[in-house]
Structure 1
Amino acid sequence: MAKYGDAFINSFLGTLEWTWKSIKFEVPWYTNFFWGIIVISLLVWLLEILFPWRKEQSIFRKDFWLDAFYIFFNFFVFSIAISGFYKVLELIFIDLGISIKDLTVFHLNALPLWAQLLIFFVVLDFVQWFTHILLHRYSFLWQFHKIHHSVKEMGFAAHMRYHWMENILYKPLKTFGIMVLGGFEPEQAYIVHFAAISIGHLNHANIKLTWGPLKYVFNNPVMHLYHHAYTLPAGKYGVNFGISLSIWDYLFKSNYVPEDSGSIPLGFVGDENIPKGFLGQFLYGFFGRKNREKD
């Protein structure tokens, strides 16, 4: 047990130290996710200010500061807090004789770097798309995902308003995706991570952007706004589940964009019961209502 305790503490302290070094600019700039997400956020916010889709929406929209706090909580505070648990879990698998090689399906080492990164990006995006469907499909997961869908005015920072339990689900499945690729997570993976953050911010931004013909490949604000629509097509528990890529929704017929005015109501039936403050949202899902409400 001492081994697991030491691993937990070392991982926690290591993640904390890396974050502090990032704040102080003591890590390579291309791995500095702390300042990287701030720069991306400011740039996308500037686009919202200069080219607003919903012009009546305030620059400091409803819940702007709550969502801004979520950026730092979900991306850093919670990641630091949970880092030790993932390290212990990794050691438990090793002790049980389960190695990365046991799950490897694809070996990418022989491919050019650009191809490795592309496959890495596509596989992880598919895993997240599938996970996203689970969050909508199953009531006990939907209870947590409601926090993200409680957004009533869309803006870039809404990207990071999600319940901390989503990290618990997403992280293992993303890790499984990496293991299928032979444990592949290249040094240059920061390219994929920064690209995913940028696309996610844009998808939630108050900007009318569709990418033209590339809308069938990349997710976009118009498509994602309908994912947050209060009223969904009859019989649907969700539409437009894409994270970075829209191609999965077009392939599996879960795409839906009937018009592009940007003026639709957001949320879900019963969203008035979602707590307005962070602490209430932090605890929601464990003590929240259990009836199956649709977004």
Structure 2
Amino acid sequence: MEKYFEILLKSYKGYWNYLKHELININHWDNYFYGLIIISLLVWALELLFPWRKNQKAFRKDFWLDTFYMFFNFFLLNLIVLIALSNTVAELFNDFIGLFGLSVGSLQLLDMNVLPKFWGLLLFFIVSDFVQWNTHRLLHRVPMLWDFHKVHHSVKEMGFAAHLRYHWMEPVVYKSLLYIPIAVIGGFNAQDVAIVHFFNITIGHLNHANLGWDYGILKYIFNNPKMHIWHHAKKLPEHVRYGVNFGLTLSIWDYLFKTSHVPENGRDIELGFEGDEHFPQDFLGQELYPLNRKD
């Protein structure tokens, strides 16, 4: 038990030092803090230049709430929960499989370093996106997980920052389910992950932005604003009552597994979920909602 406590302390100290380094040093291209700010400003500028819903204000409903969520979830949440939890879970998993004479290294089926850089990154991107697509479906199908996911679906007007409005438990679920498949593929380094991460953040921001784009023929590969708005639709046909368009970055999984749904131009559809008029409107209320549910 003492070993896991030490891991927690080292994780907090290490991430705090990393966060301070990110804030002070702006001269490296894979700086997550300023990278998020640059991507957000660029996508927001696109919203203002090419608005799909022209009557939507620049500072739309819940703009500042979503902006707070964006920085809280991207940075403070990592400091408070995710880094320490991830490191501790990883050690617990290693100890567990060690009981059977196994190690993470023995589970590794492929080392990315044996592949050319491009193909290694592409494999990492595709595997992680597919796992997250499946995880996203679980968030809609399992009632307990849906209670957490409602925070994201409480968005009533779409904008880039809505991308990172989510309950703190969501990344715990995503990272937990992603750990084992990614452990099978080794050889990643920080810059590899940064390239994929920045690309995913950009696509995610665009998906939630006030933009009427579908990328033409590329819509069958990449998720897009015209497709993703239907994922947030309040009313859906009964046969897709658990949701549609689960893709995070790639849309191809929805087309392959028949969960795609873009019946018409969704520019002005109502967003949310049944009963969202009773859902908390503030950050703390939304974070505590799954614990306070009475039904």
Q: What's the TM-score once normalised by structure 1's chain length?
A: 0.94
Count of matched residue positions in the alignment of Structure 1 and Structure 2 = 289
Residue 86 of structure 1 pairs with residue 91 of structure 2: no
Once superposed, what is the RMSD of the aligned Cα atoms? 1.5
Return the alpha-carbon distance in structure 2 between the equivalents of residues 29 and 212 of structure 1. 34
Q: For residues 175-190 of structure 1, what are the structure 2 equivalents within 5 Å?
A: 175-182=179-186, 184-185=188-189, 187-190=191-194
Partner of 2:35: 36
Quote the residue 1:219 is aligned against.
Answer: 223
Equivalent residue for 1:144, pick from 140, 145, 148: 148
Report what 1:275 is aligned to. 280
How many angstroms apart in 2 are the aligned matches of 1:123 and 1:94? 21
Q: Sequence identity of aligned pairs in percent? A: 53
Give 3-state SS (helix, strand or coil) of 1:239's partner: coil
Which residues of 2 match residues 81-120 of structure 1 at below 5 A? 81-82=80-81, 83-96=83-96, 97=98, 98-120=102-124
* 1:135 equivalenced with 2:139 (yes/no): yes
Cα deviation, residue 252, structure 1: 0.3
1:150 and 1:268 in contact (8 A); partners too: yes
Bigger CA drift: 80-89 or 215-224?
80-89
1:163-184 deviation digits (Å, cap 9, x = unpaired): 1110110111222221121364
In the alignment, the residues of structure 2 paired with residue 143 and residue 102 of structure 1 have an alpha-carbon distance, to the nearest angstrom, of 37
Residues 1:196 and 2:196 are matched in the alignment: no
2:52 aligns with: 53
Query: What amino acid is aligned across from residue 280 of structure 1 in structure 2?
Result: G
Q: How big is the shift at 1:185? A: 4.8
Once the two structures are superposed, residues 223-258 of structure 1 have per-residue CA deviations (whole angstroms, 9 ceiling, x without a partner) of: 000000011122211000000000000000000111
5 Å-filtered alignment, 1:224-243, equals: 224-236=228-240, 237-243=242-248
Q: 2:16 maps to which residue?
A: 16
Change (3 A) 1:145 1:31: same
Paired residue type of 1:180: V
Moved more, 145-154 or 28-37: 28-37
2:67 partner letter: A
Contact map agreement 2:230 2:266 (CA 8 A) in 1: no
Residue type at the aligned position of 1:190: A
Unaligned runs of 5+ residues in structure 2 are: none
Q: Aligned-pair distance for 1:107?
A: 3.4
Q: What is the identity, as a one-letter code, of the residue corresponding to 1:30?
A: W
1:154-206 Cα deviation digits (max 9, x unpaired):
00000000011101101112222211213645632211000000000000000
Shift of 1:261: 4.7
Over residues 95-120 of structure 1, what are the superposed CA-to-partner deviations in whole Å (9 max), with x where a residue is unaligned?
33152124323333321000000010
Which range moved further: 280-289 or 261-270? 280-289
Who is 1:63 aligned against? 62
Aligned equivalents of 1:259, 1:87: Cα separation in 2: 45
Judged with a 3 Å threshold, the aligned counterparts in structure 2 of structure 1 residues 160 and 289 are, in CA distance, closer, same or farther, namely: farther
Return 5+ residue gaps in structure 1 as ranges.
291-295
- Deviation string 1:197-227 (CA, Å, 9 cap, x unpaired) is 0000000000111111010000000000000
